């Protein structure tokens, strides 16, 4: 197992290949206003998508994904940006536990299925199915990454 790091992105405990399928113990991205952590992930990337600089993650399974805004003054203020360093696609991602904390306390969702695209300028969720409060919820929508 090996690790990689660069421009706010760290991958620890990597085994396998991106195209053939890789397991990653922890992925962590730290941006200006947001931190993204993925634990115990399995992912596969379409090799051609790396050539056009828009990674298409054809398969993602993870035990936990956390999206946390960095503390600002005041803490309740939303982050200045939700920009990620690159655009990417996550069709049919599955996450056992999704935690989102934008400053008002964590929101924990379980058994999440997601079809996502975006990163730099906006975030597009084409299909989101999740379990919370003993109910299944299905959503879709778009949010700008920059104000």
pLDDT by residue (tens digit) across 61-83? 999 999 888 765 555 666 677 77
pLDDT in the model for residue 62: 95
Mean pLDDT of 130-135: 74
Reported as a single tens digit per residue, the pLDDT across 109-123 is 888 898 888 888 888
Examine the pLDDT at 146 and tell me if it is beyond 60.
yes
pLDDT in the model for residue 72: 59
| Structure tokens that stand for 86 in this block | 């690159």
pLDDT in the model for residue 122: 87
Q: Where do the DSSP E strands lie in 46-87?
A: 57-69
pLDDT in the model for residue 138: 84
Q: How far apart are CA 95 and CA 61, in angstroms?
A: 6
Examine the pLDDT at 98 and tell me if it is beyond 80.
yes
Mean pLDDT of 72-100: 77
Q: Which residues pair with 11 in a beta bridge?
A: 4, 27
pLDDT in the model for residue 26: 93
Q: How far apart are CA 65 and CA 48, in angstroms?
A: 26
Examine the pLDDT at 15 and tell me if it is beyond 60.
yes
pLDDT in the model for residue 41: 93
pLDDT in the model for residue 63: 95
In this structure, what DSSP letter does residue 145 have? S
Reported as a single tens digit per residue, the pLDDT across 19-66 is 788 899 999 988 877 888 999 999 888 888 878 877 778 888 999 999
């Amino acid at each position: 197992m090996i690790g990689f790091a660069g421009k706010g992105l760290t991958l620890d405990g990597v085994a396998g290949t991106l195209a053939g399928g890789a397991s990653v113990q922890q992925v962590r991205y730290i941006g200006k206003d947001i931190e993204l952590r993925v634990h115990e992930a399995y992912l596969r990337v379409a090799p051609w998508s790396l050539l056009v600089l828009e990674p298409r993650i054809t398969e993602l399974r993870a035990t936990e994904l956390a999206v946390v805004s960095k503390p600002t003054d005041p803490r309740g203020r939303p982050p200045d940006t939700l920009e990620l360093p690159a655009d990417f696609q996550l069709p049919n991602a599955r996450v056992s536990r999704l935690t989102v904390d934008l400053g008002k306390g964590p929101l924990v969702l379980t058994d999440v299925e997601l079809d996502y695209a975006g990163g730099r300028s906006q975030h597009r969720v084409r299909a989101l199915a999740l379990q919370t409060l003993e109910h299944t919820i299905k959503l879709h929508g778009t949010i700008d990454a920059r104000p």
